[in-house]
Amino acid sequence: MPDSTTENNFEDMPMIFVIIGEACLVKGGAKVPFNALLAAPDDDTAVHMVLESLAQEGYQEADLHQIGNLDQRPEKEEFLAAYESALAGEIALIVYESDDTDHSAFTLH
């Protein structure tokens, strides 16, 4: 039987969204894939927040492919820091510079 304290703690946690897409620094240029993790009250707000953050970082175009919610800590090491940043109220972007597993990650405030 689940512990009611654990259930209450989970209910108190913010809703964490993950958005998967591609963005480019120059209109019509080569797009790089990215994942964004952030806390938001709903998916529309999450989309607007990510698009604003991408624009602040200099990205001119973005295609958003998927949006979903995380209901637990990610298992992959590369997402743990981004998840913690999202819990802290920041927008975390993981930008993949190529199609392989090498990537650079940075957190936007």
Q: Which residues contact 10 (CB under 8 A, 6 or more apart)?
A: none
Q: How many whole angstroms separate alpha carbon 108 and alpha carbon 41?
A: 18
Q: How many whole angstroms separate alpha carbon 109 and alpha carbon 107?
A: 7
Q: How many whole angstroms separate alpha carbon 51 and alpha carbon 105?
A: 17
pLDDT digits (tens, 9 = 90+) for 16-37: 999 999 999 999 999 999 999 9
Q: How many domains does the chain have?
A: 1
* Residue span of the structural domain in which 85 resides: 4-108
N residues, the chain: 109
pLDDT digits (tens, 9 = 90+) for 82-107: 999 999 999 999 988 755 444 454 43
Q: What is the pTM of this model?
A: 0.79
Q: What CATH number does the domain containing 34 carry?
A: 3.10.510
